[in-house]
Structure 1
């Protein structure tokens, strides 16, 4: 199945969906969003990475910033923070350039490496888009973390690729149904920029209240 452009979801949404499906639905289906310190700092870092006025060519290396990408197979579109093109016989040709180039996507993140795979999923999704657009194979990419100022290599394994495709299929299903999942309290709720919209504690308490009211009605009926 190939998606039409009108059906494309935002690629960057995969990290929100993997972190919390409700957060993704609130932001991308209900179009609700709030910024906190973390999101502002992350946005500023990405603005630098996407600054198209910064163009670099270092010998056999070409650096592209804010490159627009898409995939009809996954039904997504977005931008890469940075894509490096390294001149190599094993690479692919680029329009207006001599020789072949290997493609390496690089995603910028504000903090430090996470214990989950949300960043890996986003980077792998970018690689899948680039592979479809440029008819090439991309074995690896890098995550650059602002706190450590260090690149972390990410291998695009078959398992990671399949997980990306699976998650986007689920996202398309939710989006088509306009479905917003219920609250599931977790450690990440306190740092979530949407906690004042989601109101996880209030929603949780509301669920308990409804449960108690239902139990009381059952006891009264007996």
Structure 2
């Protein structure tokens, strides 16, 4: 089954339009893009960024996960930290917090290791599981990069949350894969055009680290025409009262 899957991947890639390395986007940007298109554009196109408590806590958690850059072996488990990954199909590059290789009877071969291994990515996040699925999209993108690099099929991965200190299993479904492909295609389109979406205020803006740069409150203001009409009408009313 694994050999058949690898053959199908190899055949399908003949018909794909592959990105050049200089066109690669940062994989981690997908969670920002899914959260807010404008936030992603400000950070990754205009290169504007601003730290808040959430971003600092998240950075510290990732530094802890990357504390050991070399591999680690525990019996039938091999752990790789801060593993560089990329995908020419998606046009992205990035890093996996942790990739776990479990020895199994039906997996892939690893250089210098005996037997076969199942590949499982693990992404570290601050806080607790989110109501949306932005973290799932990032984990799925990592899995898709690993599949392309290692010629394997990844059925699931894990999200580890710093607040709950617990792993959440995530199934990498075909629907999620298609959403990831569509989202990166949209991101490449925005990036190539240098396009930053206009302000669109929502309640989630209050937790955004770029709130002071983006100024989402402007999206709540009335248009200039409405303001002038209201001002004129108020003057007329005042004149009538005189």
TM range (shorter): over 0.9
How many equivalent residue pairs?
215
Paired position in structure 1 for 2:33: 17
Paired position in structure 1 for 2:145: 129
Q: Contact between 2:84 and 2:95, CA under 8 Å: does it hold in 1?
A: yes
1:4 to 20, 43, 49: 20
Point out where structure 1 has 5 or more consecutive residues left out of the alignment: none
1-structure distance, mates of 2:228, 2:116? 68
1-structure distance, mates of 2:43, 2:141? 19
1:210 to 224, 237, 240: 224
For the structure 1 residues 162 and 104, does the alpha-carbon distance in structure 2 shift closer, same or farther, using more than 3 Å as the test?
same
Paired position in structure 2 for 1:98: 114
Q: Which has the higher strand share?
A: 1
2-structure distance, mates of 1:177, 1:187? 28
* Alignment of structure 1 residues 2-151 onto 2, 5 Å: 2-53=18-69, 55-151=71-167
How far is 1:214 from its partner?
A: 7.7
How far is 1:213 from its partner?
A: 5.9
Q: Secondary structure of 1:90's match?
A: coil
How far is 1:89 from its partner?
A: 1.6
Q: Secondary structure of 1:143's match?
A: strand
Q: Contact between 2:199 and 2:218, CA under 8 Å: does it hold in 1?
A: no
2-structure distance, mates of 1:103, 1:48? 22
For the structure 1 residues 165 and 211, does the alpha-carbon distance in structure 2 shift closer, same or farther, using more than 3 Å as the test?
farther
2-structure distance, mates of 1:214, 1:38? 40
Bigger mean CA deviation after superposition, 54-63 or 28-37: 54-63
Paired position in structure 2 for 1:180: 196
Point out where structure 2 has 5 or more consecutive residues left out of the alignment: 1-16, 234-242
Q: Quick check: which has more Rg, 1 or 2?
A: 2
Normalised TM-score (structure 2): 0.86
How far is 1:16 from its partner?
A: 0.1
Deviations along 1:152-207, whole A, 9 cap, x unmatched? 000001000000000000000000010000111111100000000000103442xx
1-structure distance, mates of 2:31, 2:73? 31
For the structure 1 residues 53 and 122, does the alpha-carbon distance in structure 2 shift closer, same or farther, using more than 3 Å as the test?
closer
How far is 1:57 from its partner?
A: 1.0
How far is 1:209 from its partner?
A: 3.7
Q: Secondary structure of 2:146's match?
A: helix
CA RMSD between the two structures = 1.5
